[in-house]
Amino acid sequence: MNKTPQSNAVKAIKTATSLAETNGWDIDPPADQPNTTPSEPLYDLEGLMTDFPTAKELEKFVFDQTGFVLNLKGRSNKFKYQTAMDVLNGVTPESYMLGSENPYLDKNDLIPVDELKKLPARPAEVIGVPHVTSFISKAFPHPDPEFKASGQKCEVIFRKYVNNAITYEILGPITTKPVGTRVNKFGKEVPEKYTWIDPRTGEQLLRSSNGTYTPVGTRLKAQMQKAKINKSDYWTMWIDRDFIMGGNNGNSLDSPWDFS
């Protein structure tokens, strides 16, 4: 028997209704479908206090789970575990509760390093005075006897100022040197500490503005005069160079015809 247009329409309506009921884009769940989202926090105080009885263990666990480094030592138990639980449950900790060192780091395993020396202040007669030339030399022997014996060099910068003063400054290099020995917890022999081989001098006067040389300045000048370049030497060519200060803000060499 042939299907009538009316029966076809009824079938189409039923099909559309069935598709609507199974539409994958319909994100509204049926009213009787239970909510599967967990309503309780993932961590609680009792569990944390049982599993992590010390602040160190608790800090490690929080670090493993969240990446936050907490400073929990010395805090009251209530505050300590409450803070850890809050962070584990997604609360960002206050800045004063954050530590700076990995909780797995044992300071007893670290080899101490001496502090770097403090450099002296710059000479008073060059403070606020423009310098007109500067020259860096890497040819001087290292001041440390052991480094010098092994052929190590240091880096020295010379500066000449408009008041005729000349300074020198050893810039480096800076390195560490092991001192003593001890056996660590792994049975390995390690240094007791590291000290710095630090040749830096800070900026020092080589020649004062009145033309007087310091003892070190005299030796440095002689050393640089031994280094020849063309028909001159390094001292004359690169350090104690002549300069021109004109009325056009010192730009005479750029514009020699400007007489303003």
Q: List per-block mean pLDDT (blocks of 10 residues) for the chain, which spans 260 residues.
A: 47 46 46 54 79 84 86 85 86 84 75 90 94 91 90 94 95 92 84 92 95 94 89 90 58 42
Q: Tokens 């081989």 identify what position? A: 197
> Measuring CA to CA, which residue among 38, 36, 34, 35 is closest to residue 90?
38
Q: How far apart are CA 63 and CA 66, in angstroms?
A: 5
pLDDT of residue 49: 84
pLDDT of residue 99: 80
pLDDT of residue 244: 60
pLDDT of residue 119: 94
pLDDT of residue 60: 83
Decide if 164 contacts 111 (C-beta within 8 A): no
List the beta strands (DSSP E) in the chain: 131-141, 153-161, 166-172, 175-179, 182-183, 189-190, 193-197, 204-207, 228-229, 232-233
Q: How far apart are CA 62 and CA 162, in angstroms?
A: 61
Q: How far apart are CA 87 and CA 84, in angstroms?
A: 5
